[in-house]
Amino acid sequence: MALERSDVEKIAHLARLQIREDEVPGYTQTLSDILALVDQLQATDTTDVEPMAHPLDAVQRLRADVVSETNQREQLQSVAPAVENGLFLVPRVIE
Amino acid sequence: MFDKTLAELAGGLAAGDFSSLELTESCLSRIKSQDAAYNSFITVTEELALGQARAADSLRAAGKAGMFTGLPLAHKDIFCTQGVRTSCASRMLDNFIAPYDATLVRKFNEAGAVTLGKTNMDEFAMGSSNESSFYGPSRNPWDTDRVPGGSSGGSAAAIAARLVPAATGTDTGGSIRQPAALCGITGLKPTYGRVSRYGMIAFASSLDQAGPMARTAEDAALMLKVMAGFDPMDSTCVEQDVPDYSASLNDSLEGLRIGLPKEYFADNLNPAIAEQVQNAVREFEKLGATVKEISLPNTALAVPAYYIIAPAEASTNLSRFDGVRYGYRCDNPVDLEDLYKRSRGEGFGDEVKRRIMVGTYALSAGYYDAYYRKAQQARRLIQQDFIQALSEVDVIMGPTTPQPAFRIGEKTSDPVQMYMEDIYTLALNLAGLPGMSVPCGQVQGLPVGLQIIGNYFAEAKLLNVAHRFQQATDWHTQAPASIKG
C-alpha cells in the first residue's frame, strides 16, 4: 500500500526517530515500495497454517531462580553518556 | 605465509617453522600496508593481538598448545570484545567500548586464537553490500569498484585479500553466504541455535546466527568446532553435542543424493552463474553423487516474509538504543522525547531507520495479523517445503546469489532491488537450516558461489560435501589478481 507523508511522520514518531523534513519524501517512497513488496504475501492462502515463531519450535528454557550475576554497575556505567552517583542522567521529566 | 590456510598455519606453528608472534606481526603489517584499498577493518587490535601471540608462544613452549593456539583471525564488529570498540558499523556505537566478551569471542580466546581486529559490515548487519557502514563501504578485492557483499563484507574482503586467514561472520538473511560468494571464499551459516548469540548485537533474533568464514571447508570445520555448543547465556542456544567436524571431511560422497530446486534456476538467475553451478554439480556426479530436480514451491514467499519478520524484530531489538545507557547521545536535548528522537535520528543511518520504520508499521495496532502473523505462517510453508525436499535428498544445491558482485552505488537508491540480492539465501534463515557457500567458478573474472543446504544440524555433512568438492577442484585457491605478496 502507498503511504502518505503523514503516515511516515506518524511511524517515525512511534519509533522515536527524528526524520528531517527534506528526508520525508524519500522515506515515503521507499517505505511504500517495501510495503508493496511485502504485500505479495496477501495473495497466499494461509488458512489453518500454524504461525512459526521459532525454527526448531523450541519452548523457552527456564533457569533456576537464583542470583547468577555479580554487581558490575561501575563497569557497565563506564560507557554511559551521563551518570551521577550511580544513576543514569536524562533531561528533567517532572517539573 | 599470507597465502596459507588455518590448517597449514597450524601445522607450521606446531612444527616450529614460525612463531605465533611472527605470524601475527606479518598479518598486522599486511593489514597496515594494504587495507586502505579494501577498508575491511573498522578497528585493528594490534596490542591485543601481539599480547595474545606472545601468550600463545609461551603456551606452546610449555607443551600446552591446542589446535587453535596462536592462529590469527578477525571478528565481525558485531561481536562484543571486552575493552575494544564494538561499533556494529554504526555512529550509534562509534564510542562503545564493550564491557564484556561475546561467548564466541571468549571461546576463541580460550582456544588460544589471536584477535587481529574488528571487520567492517553493513550498519547493524542490515544490508547486502557493506555500503550502509558508518565507516564507508568495504571493497571487493577482485574489483575494488565493486561491493564485497554484506553484511559480513569486511570479513569476506579481508580473507579474499589474504589479510587474514579466517574471520567470524553473522547471517540473518545471507550475510555470511552472500559475501563469501561475491569474494570467492568459503562461508557457513549453521543451524539456528548451534552457535551462541550472547554478546552478538541483535538484529532479528529468530533469524540471527554466527558462523565461520575462511578459505576452505577444512578451516571452517576447525572454526565451527570452537564456536558451536550450548551456552546458558543464550536462551535459544541448543543443548546438543558438538561433533568433530574435521573427522568426517573425507567421507565418500558415493550415493549422495543432491536436489536442485527448479525455482532457484528460474528467470532471476544470470545464465552464466547457472552454467557455473551446473558445472559444479557435474563434479559431484563424478564423485558418485546422484542428482534430481526438486521443487520448493513457496520460494517466492521468502523475500516478502523476511522483510516483515526481520524489520519487525529489528524495530524491537533496536529500541534499546535510546541515548541513555550507552551509545550516541545528541547534544543539548530539551526533554526526554527530544533526547530519544534526536539520539536515534542522528545515531542511526538511513537503511537502519528505514527498517525500524517498516517494523514499527508492521507491528502497530491493527496491522499485526495482516503482516507479522501472516509472515510467520508463510515461514511455516517455506519450512515445510524444505522438510519435504530433505526427505528425498541429502543436500540441496543452487546458486548463492543471482549475480556476481555489483558496482558500489549501483543499488543504493532502490532498497527493494538490493533486497532481491538475497532471494536464494533468505529462505534458509526463515527455516533455521544450515547452509554454505563455496567458490565454484568465475563470471567475467568475478567469483561465483555454490550454495549447499542441509538438514538441521547437518553441518558435518555440508563441510564433508564442500571439502570433497575442494579436493577435486581449485576454485577456492584462486586469488584476486590485485593482491600483493
Q: Three-state SS for B185?
A: coil
pLDDT of B80 higher than 80: yes
What per-residue confidence (pLDDT) applies to B438? 98
Active site residue B151: yes
The yes-or-no answer on residue B225 being catalytic is no
B13: left (phi over 0), alpha (psi -120 to 50) or beta: alpha
Give the mean pLDDT of B457-482. Answer: 97
- What tens digit of pLDDT does each residue of A38-76 get? 999 999 999 999 999 888 877 888 889 999 889 999 999
**What phi and psi values does residue B447 have, to the nearest 5 degrees?**
-70, 150
Is A93's pLDDT higher than 90?
no
In sequence order, the 6+-apart residues with CB closer than 8 A to the CB of A30 are B354, B414, B415, B416
DSSP secondary structure letter of residue B201: P
**Does B1 have pLDDT greater than 90?**
no
Nearest-Cα residue of chain A relative to residue B342: A18
Name the residue facing A17 among B324, B353, B377 (closest C-beta): B353
Average pLDDT for chain B? 97
Domain ranges in chain A? Answer: 5-43
State how far the Cα of B7 lies from the Cα of B71, in Å rounded to an integer: 9
Residue pair B459/B245 in contact (Cβ under 8 Å)? The answer is yes
B320 touching chain A per CB within 8 A:
no
Residues paired with B187 in a beta bridge: B213, B437
Per-residue pLDDT for A95 more than 80?
A: no
* Dist CA B87 CA B201 (whole Å): 10
**pLDDT bucket at B183, cuts 50 / 70 / 90:** very high
Cis peptide before B151 (omega within 30 of 0): yes
Three cell numbers at B143? 574489483
Interface of A with B in 28-87 (CB under 8 A): 30-31, 33-35, 37-42, 44, 46, 49-56, 58, 60-61, 63, 72, 75-76, 78-82
Q: Which residue of A has its CA nearest to B85?
A: A79
Query: Percent of chain B at pLDDT above 90?
Result: 96
DSSP B278-309: HHHHHHHHHTT-EEEEE--TTGGGHHHHHHHH
What would the grid cell of residue B334 be? 530539551
Mean pLDDT of B199-227: 98
At residue B305, the pLDDT reads 98
Q: Which of B96, B337, B376 is facing A53, going by the closest CB pair?
A: B376
Would you call B378 and A90 a contact, using CB atoms and an 8 Å cutoff?
Answer: no
CA distance A73 to chain B (A): 11
| Contact (Cβ atoms closer than 8 angstroms) between residue B304 and residue B378 | yes
Q: Which of B214, B216, B196 is nearest to B205 (CA)?
A: B196
Say yes or no to pLDDT of B250 above 80: yes
Please, what is the average pLDDT of chain A?
Answer: 93
Cell reading at B241:
553435542
Burial class of residue B241 in the structure, from the number of CB atoms within 10 Å of its CB (0-12 exposed, 13-18 middle, 19+ buried): exposed
Q: Which long-range contacts (CB under 8 A, 24 or more apart) does A44-52 make?
A: A44/B298, A44/B301, A44/B374, A44/B378, A44/B381, A46/B374, A46/B377, A46/B378, A46/B381, A49/B377, A49/B380, A49/B381, A50/B377, A50/B380, A51/B373, A51/B376, A51/B377, A51/B379, A51/B380, A52/B376, A52/B377, A52/B379, A52/B380, A52/B383
Sequence-distant (≥ 6) Cβ neighbours of residue B43 within 8 angstroms: B77, B84, B85, B87, B117, B118
Statement: residue B268 has pLDDT above 90 = no
Is B107 known to be catalytic?
Answer: no
Query: Which residue type does B190 have?
Result: P
CATH of residue B114's domain is: 3.90.1300.10
Task: Please provide residue B99's backbone torsions phi and psi, each rounded to the nearest 5 degrees.
Answer: -85, 0
pLDDT of A1: 65
DSSP-based three-state secondary structure for A85:
coil
CA–CA dist B231, B200 (Å, integer): 13
Task: Check pLDDT > 70 for residue A2.
Answer: yes
Of B394, B455, B65, nearest to B256 by C-alpha is B394
Rounded-to-integer distance, Cα B453 and Cα B218, Å: 17
- Residue B243 has a pLDDT of 97
What pLDDT, on the 0 to 100 scale, is given for residue A56?
83
pLDDT digits (tens, 9 = 90+) for B37-62: 999 999 999 999 999 999 999 999 99
pLDDT, tens digit (0-9, with 9 covering 90-100), for B220-241: 999 999 999 999 999 999 999 9
The helix (run of H) or strand (run of E) holding residue B442 is: strand B435-443
**Is A41's CB within 8 Å of B97's CB?**
no
- Pairing type for strands A87-88 and A83-84 reads antiparallel
Give the per-residue pLDDT at B331: 97
Domain that holds residue B261: 1-485
pLDDT tens per residue across span B99-147: 999 999 999 999 999 999 999 999 999 999 999 999 999 999 999 999 9
User: Does an H or E element contain B214, and which?
Assistant: strand B210-214
- B19, B133, B151, B315: which is the annotated catalytic residue? B151
- Report how many domains make up chain B: 1
Amino acid of residue A7: D
Q: What do you get for the CA distance between the two ends of chain A, in Å? A: 42
Q: What torsion, rounded to 10 degrees, do the Cα atoms B180, B386, B219, B114 define?
A: 70
* CATH code given to domain A5-43: 1.10.20
- Asked if residue B207 lies in contact with residue B174, where contact means CB atoms within 8 angstroms, the answer is no
Mean pLDDT for the stretch of residues B164-183: 98
ipTM for this prediction: 0.96
pLDDT band per the 50, 70, 90 thresholds, residue B485: low
